[in-house]
Chains A and B, each alone.
Chain A
């Protein structure tokens, strides 16, 4: 069983602020790292899947980086908006795509 940690647990920011979260995972036997956004009363939505050391992915104002050698990934949100309020989950996957999730970072963006 992999141990995935996320920090911070929760975050309150003002609209327009930029923010970032951290996901740490065991670097041995690494296969892939997934980021999900989970809004209240909705389904978790996939943001990124990353596999290679040094990967950087971007979707609109959200981007992510991956360091497989030291076992961490950062998720960045530029110019946070109230609609970005959600829980952001990262997960490390096994060879068979069984996801081990971190505890999530709950982001609240105040207008």
Chain B
């Protein structure tokens, strides 16, 4: 089966610019996650969707970050305006359900550099 697809793979922008990332989860996976991985740290959950509804966005900096999952399939994550500290790898993941022992499948990530 096809894996989680993310684009772009790399992005370099100047601070205060806007950027958007796209994710296509594995077919049939109702749950979609966005994680932020800053160099030297583990991935941190930004937002979790169940179909097209938000389950948890408590760690999403809502003043500059937004995410949507229209039609419960693809998702986009936007940063506007970007700050230097947003430089990170943004990982998208999907899973069939939300049980704690459900395996989450990850994409290759988008590496964002803000200069």
**Cross-chain contact B45 with A103 (CB below 8 angstroms):** no
Q: How many A-B residue pairs have CB under 8 A?
A: 70
Show the binding face of B for A, using Cβ within 8 Å: 3-4, 31, 33, 35, 40-45, 48, 55-56, 91, 95, 97-109
For residue A34, which residues in chain B have a CB less than 8 angstroms away from its CB?
103-104
Known A98-B56, A100-B45; contact A43-B108, beta-carbon cutoff 8 A: yes
A31 touches B100 (CB 8 A): yes
B80 smallest CB distance to A (angstroms)? 25
Interface residues of A in 34-51 (CB under 8 A from B): 34, 36, 41-46, 49, 51
Closest to A91 in B: B42
Q: Which residues of B contact A102 (CB under 8 A)?
A: 42
Interface SS of chain B: loop
Please give me the residue from chain B that is nearest to A42 by CB atom.
B108
CB distance from A62 to the nearest CB of B (A): 16
Residues in chain A within 8 A of chain B (CB atoms): 4, 6, 31-32, 34, 36, 41-46, 49, 51, 89, 91, 93-104
- CB-based contact A104/B42 at 8 Å: yes
With A43-B3, A104-B42 known as contacts, the answer to whether A97 contacts B108 (CB < 8 A) is no
Known: A43-B109, A49-B101, A49-B103. A97 touches B42 (CB 8 A): no
Which B residues touch A49, using CB under 8 A? 101-103
Least CB distance, B36 to chain A, in whole angstroms: 11
A94 and B103 CA atoms in complex are apart in Å by 13
Q: How far is the CB of B86 from chain A (nearest CB, A)?
A: 18
With both chains docked as a complex, state the minimum distance between the C-beta of B101 and any C-beta of chain A, in angstroms.
4
